[in-house]
Structures are given as structure tokens and as C-alpha cells.
Amino acid sequence: MKLKKLLKNKTLHNLTGKLGLVTLGKLLTFVTVPIISKALGAENYGIYTYIITIASYAFLLANWGFLAKGIREIANPKFVNREVIQSITSSRFVLWLIGGCSVGLGFYLFSSDAQLIGYIVLAILANLGMSITIDYHFYGIKDALTPSLVHFGGQLLFLILIVFFVENKSDIVILLGINILYKLLEALVLFYIYRKKNDHTLKFKFSLTQTFEVFKNNFYLGLGAKASFFQSSFPILIIPYFLTQTDLGFYSAAYKLFLTTSLLVQSMNLVFSPWIVESKANQKKRRLLFIRLSTVYLLLGMLISVFFLVFGDLLVDWLFGDEFESSKIIIQYFAYFLIPIWPIFMLLSSFMNNYVKDQSFFRINIIQVLVIIILTPLLLKYFGLLGVVLSLTVSTLLLICLYFMSLKKDLWA
């Protein structure tokens, strides 16, 4: 009976389905990354990473914690799903437009590099699909499989297109165009699936008043979440000023491998988020859930760390080639210092978001931003790229301690 019950368990289906698709998606990454990096070379791969990072800052407002907000509101029976989708998606689109126009205009006024400006505009357009996606709806109703399958399809399309069209260092424009296409298609497919399963239409209201209200209500959650974004993006912006674009290319290659860890754990968080929301109402249940998940995430961090220590050099050779030889030592730095603690950090972040501890989340992450701003340039100057990894590690350890202290009363009261 226990086996039969386990096989019918929706959490198990969501987790195995999503992680299975994530695994397949990572296998596709192992094909797409070497094609892109070898076609562009270390210097242009660094430039491509820089452009994508600038575009992510343009997307900052539209990505203001709305995924976490959407999941927890959809999972809450007090909210009407249709109204949540309409308000969040409308607001995200308006915020994407405001952020994109602001960054694009800023570079136009203060940069004399017309080619770089063109790249940045295309990278901003690539985020349009992300601004209108309703993946949070599916995660909120405990259907992690549908958005995972759609995203896998988008990654597969991305792979096919770059195989045929990305061949040399001048193909950054084509690569950015492919990004625009596949992300927009993913969003439209999710809309189509939602429409097929529901007998009502979505009516969007692109209003500045509504956008401001939604943004204001989500201010602390979003600002706290953006601190984590700043942690990962700030080093990419300053590395070229201390070292070179080529060094940024080496770091970007290693960071791309590290992100496979982050995406895997993020997928697990998306699956478990509705259960974390539900556990808040039951003291015994939330404590037990936290202990079980913490054990799993800690073990996962150690296993992934060992994997990269053993196979990191081989992965760099396989994915990036001889030109990225210097990336090998950087991925070892990640494996020794950051990867072992990263899963538990992401789990605690999920508990903070789903327990609606937005103001505490905000205050703690402001401390993180200050640590990153002070520590990263200092350690980068004296220790090179090792200093960047050490800075990320120190700030992550600090957040783990502060998150746990903030959650202690909720979990053990």
C-alpha cells in the first residue's frame, strides 16, 4: 500500500518529471555551450556575457520577485487565479518596457559604441518573452511538469537554431535573435495551454497605476530577491575593469557550469514551494518538512561539489575547448568554497519567500549587497578571480546565518 501511495504522490510526479526534464535540459546545455563558446572565442564570449548581464539589469523591475509572488498567490485559495495572472503579467510587461527603454536610452546617450548599443537592445528584446510568461501559474497549482516541458522544448529549439546559424565570432547578432525567438515562443505556448484548460479569457490592463500598485505591494520581496541577483551579476560587470574581457570569458565559462547547480536546486524549490506555503499553517508539519528538505539539500551540495572536483577539468575541456584552459582552476574554486553551501542557501531563501517574510528578506539582503560591493573589488584586486569566488562564499554564508535566525521562531515556535 505504501508503494502504491508513493507512486500516486503528486509531489513525486512533479519532482521526478521536472528534474528529469532539467537533466535533459542540462544535457542540451552541454551541447549548446561549446558551440557558442567555440564559435565566439573567449573574448567575444565575455562580451556576450557582459551584454546579457546589462540586459538583465534592464529586466530588473519586471523580474522583481514576481515568480515567488505568483506561486504563493496561486497556491493560496484566497486568490482568484485569473486575476493574479492578469495583474502580474500586465505589470511585468509595463515594467519590462520602462526598464528596457531606460537602459537603452542611457547607453545611447553615454556610449559611443554603436555596435554595443545594438547588441544591448537585442538582448533587452530577448527578455520580452520572460516578461509575459505565466509559468508561476503552473507551479502554483502544483503542475511543475508543464512549464518544464515547454522550457525543454524551447531549449531544444535554441540548440537546433544555433547549430545551423552560429558559426563564428561575428554571429552575436544571430545568437541574440535566436534568444528573442525561443523565449517568446515559450511564453506563447504556456498561454495556449492555459487557454485550452480554462473556459475564460485573460484581459490584460497595461496601466501605470495598476503597475505601481502591484510593484508597491511586492516591493520588499522583490528588493530582497534583487540583492541575490546583484550578488551574481556585480562581479561580471567589474571583472573587465580589473582584468580583461578574456578573463571575464574564463570566469563566465566556469560560472556557467556553476549555474547548472543553481538551476537544479531552483527546480527543486519550484516543485516544493506550494508545500512550503501549506506547511506554514501547521507547526509540526513545517518543522518536519524543513528538517527533511535541509538534509536533502545539504547532501546534494556535497555530492555536486565532489562531482565538480572530479570531473570539472573534463567538463571544461569538453564544453569549451583548449582556449578556456584557465577556467579549470575557477570551477575548482567554486567546488571547494561555494557549491557545498549553495543548495541550503537557496532552500532558506525559498522558506523566507513562501513564509512571506518580505521585510526581513529585504533587510538581510541589503546587508548582502553592501558586503558584495565592498568585498568583491577588494578581493578581486589582491586575489584575482579566486577573490570573486571568496566574496560570493562569504556573502552566502552570512545570508545562511541571517535567514536561519529569521526563520527560527517560525519553525520552532
Residues 140-180 pLDDT 10s: 887 777 887 888 888 889 989 998 898 888 888 999 999 99
DSSP 149: H
Largest CA distance in the chain: 70
178 closest CA partner among 54, 59, 52: 52
Q: Using one digit for the tens of pLDDT, what is the confidence trace for 280-337?
A: 777 777 788 888 889 999 999 999 999 999 998 888 887 787 788 889 999 999 999 9
The whole-angstrom separation of Cα 356 and Cα 372 is 25
| Measured CA distances, 296 to 7, 268, 290, 291, 355 (Å) | 20, 11, 10, 9, 20
Percent of the chain with pLDDT over 70: 89
Residue 278 has pLDDT above 70, yes or no: yes
For 94-115, what is each residue's pLDDT tens digit? Answer: 999 999 999 988 888 887 788 8
**Cα distance between residue 369 and residue 347, in whole Å:** 19
Residue 378 has which C-alpha cell?
577588494
Res 4: pLDDT: 46
More confident residue, 7 or 369: 369
384: left (phi over 0), alpha (psi -120 to 50) or beta: left
- Cα-atom radius of gyration of the chain, to the nearest Å? 21
pLDDT in tens, 363-375: 887 888 888 889 9
Long-range pairs, 364-367, Cβ under 8 A, ≥24: 364/224, 364/399, 364/402, 364/403, 364/406, 365/223, 365/224, 365/225, 365/226, 365/227, 365/228, 365/399, 366/223, 366/227, 367/398, 367/402
This prediction has a pTM of: 0.65
Q: What would the mean pLDDT of 241-261 be, rounded to a whole number?
A: 84
pLDDT tens for residues 205-240?
888 888 888 887 777 666 655 666 777 788 888 888
